[in-house]
């Protein structure tokens, strides 16, 4: 994208779709789209029964901000049901997970900083204790 | 706030309202509310006929993400009408302004990084050229 250094605006037509195991994503701010240094921004749609299970980002702080629907959000061993307009702050390296045991999709923004950070960007811990057992008794999300 | 180092979640009841000349703000992530290091987050409502005129942030990168309504958004001398789900990236030190010449309030998220940065955090340039004349012929916003 030759005009990348000059790009500032991301309209609906310019955002970049991505499908993952957990969510349908729309990327808004990423270094291959814009000359961002501090801020990554992605809008994610998570269907009922899906989750992004326990993981952490060793090199980035994150905010998850709910746009619509509800999320069962974990940060460490704290759990909270978040609604539209609510958020969680996830310090660098802190284990967290987002689950949707509800009837409707949840749509949220994930904001991460800094934009350029060392790999690995995400480390899954969902199969290790205590995280593997933490949601025992709650509706399964895959 | 003695539990600040442990705070992660910000629900509707915990967000902090602020009224400015330009907008009604709801602060979600700020170092006096949460142990954020990288990310500031505020939700702003700008009424019809209002604006946050040309200014810059010498020490922070910013994203403005539209939640509802429309904004006449400037970044440098580029102007774009942004709708819900669209955004602008404002590199550190780049002059920008948000105007609402429309009939409805515009509600947007302002995301700034890093959280802890040197003052001044905002420098107004709206009375100096070429910024003072740039919107000549467009509906006045105050």
Residue A101, C-beta contacts closer than 8 angstroms, at least 6 positions apart: A48, A49, A72, A138, A139, A141
Residue A9, C-beta contacts closer than 8 angstroms, at least 6 positions apart: B73, B75, B78, B80, B82, B86, B87, B88, B89
Q: What is the mean pLDDT of residues B11-15?
A: 92
Nearest to A113 among B9, B38, B88 (CB): B38
Query: Does position B27 have pLDDT exceeding 70, yes or no?
Result: yes
Q: Give the separation between CA A47 and CA B15, rounded to whole angstroms.
A: 27
Q: What's the CATH number where B87 sits?
A: 2.60.120.10
Rounded to the nearest angstrom, the gap between the alpha carbon of residue A114 and the centroid of all alpha carbons in its chain is: 15
DSSP state of B116: S
Cα distance from A7 to chain B (closest Cα, Å)?
8
Render pLDDT for A60-107 as a digit per residue (tens, 0 to 9): 999 999 999 999 999 999 999 999 999 999 999 999 999 999 999 999
Q: Which residues of B touch A28 (CB under 8 A)?
A: 63, 65, 87
Query: Does position A2 have pLDDT exceeding 60, yes or no?
Result: no
Nearest to B39 among A11, A63, A73 (CB): A63
Q: Judge whether B86 is closer than 8 Å to chain A, CB to CB.
A: yes
How many other CB atoms are found less than 10 A from the CB of residue B121? Answer: 12
Query: Does position B4 have pLDDT exceeding 60, yes or no?
Result: yes
**Contact B96/B126 with Cβ under 8 angstroms?**
no
Q: Give the separation between CA B142 and CA B137, rounded to whole angstroms.
A: 15
CB pairs under 8 A between A and B: 128
In a domain, A4, yes or no: no
The dihedral over CA atoms of B122, B127, B130, B131, expressed in degrees to the nearest 10, equals: 50
In a domain, A142, yes or no: no
Give the residue from A15, A26, A35, A63 with the most B CB atoms within 10 Å of its CB, the best one to mutate.
Answer: A63
Render pLDDT for A102-125 as a digit per residue (tens, 0 to 9): 999 999 999 999 999 999 999 999
Render pLDDT for B83-108 as a digit per residue (tens, 0 to 9): 999 999 999 999 999 999 999 999 99
Q: What is the largest CA-CA distance in chain B?
A: 52
Domain that holds residue A22: 15-133
Query: Does position B25 have pLDDT exceeding 80, yes or no?
Result: yes
Render pLDDT for B53-89 as a digit per residue (tens, 0 to 9): 999 999 999 999 999 999 999 999 999 999 999 999 9
Q: What is the mean pLDDT of residues B13-31?
A: 96
How many other CB atoms are found less than 10 A from the CB of residue A35? Answer: 15
Q: Judge whether B73 is closer than 8 Å to chain A, CB to CB.
A: yes
Q: Judge whether A98 is closer than 8 Å to chain B, CB to CB.
A: no
Query: Does position B132 have pLDDT exceeding 60, yes or no?
Result: yes
Q: Given pLDDT bands bounded at 50, 70 and 90, which one contains residue B2?
A: low
Q: Judge whether A93 is closer than 8 Å to chain B, CB to CB.
A: no
Q: Give the separation between CA A140 and CA A50, rounded to whole angstroms.
A: 9
What value does the mean pLDDT of chain A take? 96
* B89–A36 C-beta distance less than 8 A: yes
* Helix boundaries (H) for B19-107: none
- CA-based nearest residue to A39, from A20, A65, A60, A15: A60
Nearest to A87 among B29, B60, B113 (CB): B29
Query: Does position A140 have pLDDT exceeding 80, yes or no?
Result: yes
Q: Judge whether A82 is closer than 8 Å to chain B, CB to CB.
A: yes
Q: Give the separation between CA A97 and CA A84, rounded to whole angstroms.
A: 17
Residue A127, C-beta contacts closer than 8 angstroms, at least 6 positions apart: none
pLDDT recorded at residue B3: 77
State ipTM.
0.96
* A86–B9 C-beta distance less than 8 A: yes
In a domain, A56, yes or no: yes
Give the residue from B113, B114, B115 with the most A CB atoms within 10 Å of its CB, the best one to mutate.
Answer: B113
Q: Give the separation between CA A28 and CA A4, rounded to whole angstroms.
A: 13
The dihedral over CA atoms of A79, A81, A83, A89, expressed in degrees to the nearest 10, equals: 0
Q: Judge whether A117 is closer than 8 Å to chain B, CB to CB.
A: no
In a domain, B106, yes or no: yes
In a domain, A111, yes or no: yes
pLDDT recorded at residue A122: 96
B102 three-state secondary structure: coil
In a domain, B140, yes or no: no
Query: Does position B1 have pLDDT exceeding 70, yes or no?
Result: no
Give A95: exposed, middle or buried? Use CB within 10 Å, 0-12, 13-18, 19+: buried
Give the residue on B whose Cα is nearest the Cα of A108.
Answer: B85
Domain count, chain A: 1
Integer CA distances (angstroms), B99 to B3, B75, B81, B108, in order: 38, 12, 10, 12
* A78–B10 C-beta distance less than 8 A: no
Q: Give the separation between CA A121 and CA A118, rounded to whole angstroms.
A: 7
């Amino acid at each position: 994208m030759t005009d990348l250094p000059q790009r500032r605006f991301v309209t609906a037509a310019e955002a970049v779709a991505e499908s993952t195991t957990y969510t349908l994503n729309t990327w808004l701010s990423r270094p291959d789209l814009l000359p961002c240094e501090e801020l990554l921004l992605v809008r994610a749609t998570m269907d009922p029964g899906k989750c992004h299970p326990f993981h952490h980002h060793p090199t980035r702080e994150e905010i998850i901000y709910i746009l619509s629907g509800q999320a069962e959000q974990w940060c460490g061993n704290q759990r909270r049901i978040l609604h539209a307009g609510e958020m969680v702050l996830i310090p660098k390296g802190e284990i967290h997970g987002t689950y949707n045991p509800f009837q409707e999709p949840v749509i949220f923004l994930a904001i991460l900083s800094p934009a350029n950070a060392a790999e690995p960007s995400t480390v899954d811990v969902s199969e290790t204790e205590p995280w593997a057992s933490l949601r025992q008794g709650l509706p399964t999300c895959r």
